[in-house]
Amino acid sequence: MTQEELFKNLIAHAKEYGFIFPSSEIYDGLSAVYDYGQMGVELKNNIKKYWWDAMVRLNENIVGIDSAIFMHPKIWEASGHVGAFNDPLIDNKDSKKRYRADVLLEDYIAKLEEKIEKEVAKGRKKFGDSFNEEQFLATNPNVLRNRTKIDNVRERMVKALNDNDLKALRDLIVECEIACPISGTKNWTDVRQFNLMFSTQVGSVSDDAGLIYLRPETAQGIFVNYLNVQKTGRMKIPFGIAQIGKAFRNEIVARQFIFRMREFEQMEMQFFVRPGEEMKWYAMWKEKRLQWHKALGLGDGKYRFHDHEKLAHYANAACDIEFEFPFGFKELEGVHSRTNFDLSNHQKFSGKKLQYFDPETNESYVPYVIETSIGLDRCFLAVLSAAYHEEKLADGEERVVLRIPPVLAPVKVAVLPLVKKDGLPEKAREILGSLKYEFNCQYDEKDSIGKRYRRQDAIGTPYCVTIDHDTLKDNCVTIRDRDTMEQERVSVDRLKDIIEEKVSFKNILKKL
């Protein structure tokens, strides 16, 4: 099965089992907007808790806030979003479809990369064990031709984006002979800049006086509150402020399920440091964030850093932590050294001093900022896509299992009476009653035990506990492990400890 087919199955599975529904589905949906169902919201809340506790609980010098989505419109002028938060767009005149110019070029580059991979696969097949990939990549004429093309297109694209040279972007698209995937023609308009912020009106005024924006990032709510938090929390530099909340962007390229949405959630942390020390903290946060991801156990090889070639208007260094999604390595989180750009500009635009007095150096200054910014929905997709497995079992049966890290699993334990009679449901409910204050549990007595196991595998429940007739005599149950499917007979008194060991936040946080 191809990755594309597997991804389609995953999307269908996410809907069938109550993880993610298309928004407004009975009205045929709303593009790039999704709702989280009864399982999805549990998984999402667990990811939030893991992030929040790792930031706010484990670090004495990081505190959290929850700022409003609506903010004074001048904030977005000061932050540069009104002027520069744009995507370069191009329309195909025949299909009337609109594309991001840089995405068309990135897709073109991806196709060339695919050609190189195919060439390598051919070489491997031809030369067998004696195949030397490094040498092949350095000498094969087809590979070298495509690699030169890739480097050239990428270099020119980055330069055009950095210089805001829209004509150069269009020329490159034309030169690469990129055709519209819908019409198949190369009949392109000019490239234009398109601002990604949603705007609306506040109050009853209908002119520009009432114009406000839906925030495109949560970070600005932190910047404008930094002195409030510093003073009321008696924070000393270096210190951080963390926040989880909704952000909105009028994305034109809306595809790949919840990877790129118009309404999404961010988990951001701004770390305020002494000017001149930012690179030290930048390096530390890169490592710390990678460690947070790896502790989930989705596979260390699924992550990589990608340093930005085109820096955002506020950054002096930036990288992405990329994850290997079913559609390839893509950005999951950004770590950015944002200088003092935001705070200095807010000082300028608001006329209020935003300086910090450093008691150690006896100096006042506008702090520099390291930001870590992860999309909650992208993290959700990373977990779900790494967890999704279609398996053929030894007895010839098939199952779909979500190997979600147990600490994040929506339901931790399912309590299942073997039959619906003989006092087993009552005993099962008694056990459920003793576990439900510790863990999110499900009770299920319908269908055969095999079918019930399959249902729990499909939502990623780490443990199933089965109550049978012997339970009434010896107070023991069968506990079944989702991943190994092994079953063990244990005393009811041990259940809490066994489950706790596997699903507790404490154990994963201790790894950090």
Three-state SS for 328-392 is EEEEEEEEEECCCHHHHHHHHHHCCCCCEEECCCCEEECCEEEEEEEEHHHHHHHHHHHHEEEEE
Q: Which residues between 369 and 398 bind ligand GAP (CB under 6 A)?
A: 371, 373-375, 377-378
- Distance CA(333)–CA(302), nearest Å, equals 13
260 binds ligand GAP (CB under 6 A): yes
266 binds ligand GAP (CB under 6 A): yes
Side-chain-facing half-sphere of 363: CA atoms under 13 Å: 7
| Contact flags string 55-94 toward ligand GAP, x per CB under 6 A | ----------------------------------------
CB of 374 to ligand GAP, least distance (A): 6
Pairing of strands 441-443, 413-417: parallel
* Residue whose C-beta lies closest to ligand GAP: 375
119 binds ligand GAP (CB under 6 A): no
In terms of CB distance, is 376 or 503 closer to ligand GAP?
A: 376
In terms of CB distance, is 219 or 407 closer to ligand GAP?
A: 219
Residue choice 88, 238, 334, 367 for contact with ligand GAP (CB under 6 A): 334
In terms of CB distance, is 251 or 500 closer to ligand GAP?
A: 251
* Element (DSSP H or E) covering residue 213: strand 211-213
CB of 251 to ligand GAP, least distance (A): 5
CB of 109 to ligand GAP, least distance (A): 20
CB of 230 to ligand GAP, least distance (A): 20
- Distance CA(146)–CA(172), nearest Å, equals 16
Segment contacting ligand GAP by CB under 6 A, of 52-60, 180-188, 325-333, 347-355: 325-333
Residues 162, 308 contacting (CB under 8 angstroms): no
Q: Show Cβ contacts of residue 55 under 8 Å, excluding neighbours closer than 6 positions.
A: 62, 64, 240, 242, 269
Beta bridge pairs of residue 333: 321, 374
Residue choice 222, 261, 414, 479 for contact with ligand GAP (CB under 6 A): 261
245 binds ligand GAP (CB under 6 A): no
- Cα distance from N-terminal residue to C-terminal residue, the chain: 36
In terms of CB distance, is 217 or 468 closer to ligand GAP?
A: 217
Residue choice 172, 332, 382, 411 for contact with ligand GAP (CB under 6 A): 332
C-alpha angle with apex 19: 16 to 25, nearest 5 degrees?
A: 70
- Distance CA(439)–CA(156), nearest Å, equals 54
Q: 10 Å Cβ neighbour count for 297?
A: 14
Residues, the chain, total?
512
CB of 206 to ligand GAP, least distance (A): 29
Q: Which residues bind ligand GAP (CB under 6 A)?
A: 217, 219, 249, 251, 260-261, 264, 266, 268, 331-334, 371, 373-375, 377-378
